[in-house]
Amino acid sequence: MRIAVFTGSQSGPPSHQQAAADFATALARAGVGIVYGGGNVGLMGVVADAALAAGGEVVGVIPQHLVDDEVAHPGLPRLEVVQTMHERKAVMADLSDAFVALPGAAGTLEELFEAWTWGMLGLHAKPTAFLDVDGFWQPLLQQLRRMVDDGYLAANRLEALGVVHDAAELLAFVDGYRHPARKWTPPAT
């Protein structure tokens, strides 16, 4: 199994760095591979380094423009270089069995929300989750609950989005995951 890890290109506070390292180490020790954005910076680099140090499989997927900017991780046994950010996300999705967002910024949100939306539209049936470190995702989850309350998001879609606190919880979530029916169902013929 491989899990796509979306996270920041900045390091954040020390508690987030430690949580990212612990998370990646635990996945590696459980025999779960990591697919991530291929960088050597921020929490992305922390995740890759920790998983590699624990003997785990780490696959980086990075667009050429970021290789040119010298942010590609030089120690990866497998680095897929693609041309665009869109291609990066598609390759990461193809290589992964589930998705998880660690703390990060706009790019992390964009990646996770696209993966989650693809699931709603029936493009895949893979689990999607937040790793909630220090309550980082709680304000966003409050907004998502508001979307349900106001009728913009079906409650079963939000219920299918995992909120976990460590690798063991993520693996249990993935193991028990039941994908809701796709959002749009073609009419019967």
Q: What is the pLDDT of residues 162-179, one digit of tens each?
A: 999 999 999 999 999 999
Which of 24, 189, 180 has the alpha carbon at shortest distance from 102?
A: 24
What is d(CA 17, CA 45) in angstroms, rounded to the nearest whole number?
10
Residue 18 lies in a domain: yes
Number of domains within the chain? 1
Q: Structural domain of residue 166, as residue ranges?
A: 7-28+40-174
Largest CA distance in the chain: 57
For the chain, what percent of residues have pLDDT higher than 70?
Answer: 98
Q: Is there a contact between 67 and 86 (Cβ–Cβ < 8 Å)?
A: no
What is d(CA 69, CA 76) in angstroms, rounded to the nearest whole number?
17
- pLDDT tier for residue 181 given thresholds of 50, 70 and 90: confident
Residue 185 lies in a domain: no
Q: Would you say the C-alpha torsion 165, 169, 31, 38 has a positive or negative sign?
A: negative
Residue 2 lies in a domain: no
Residue 58 lies in a domain: yes
Residue 144 lies in a domain: yes
Residue 187 lies in a domain: no
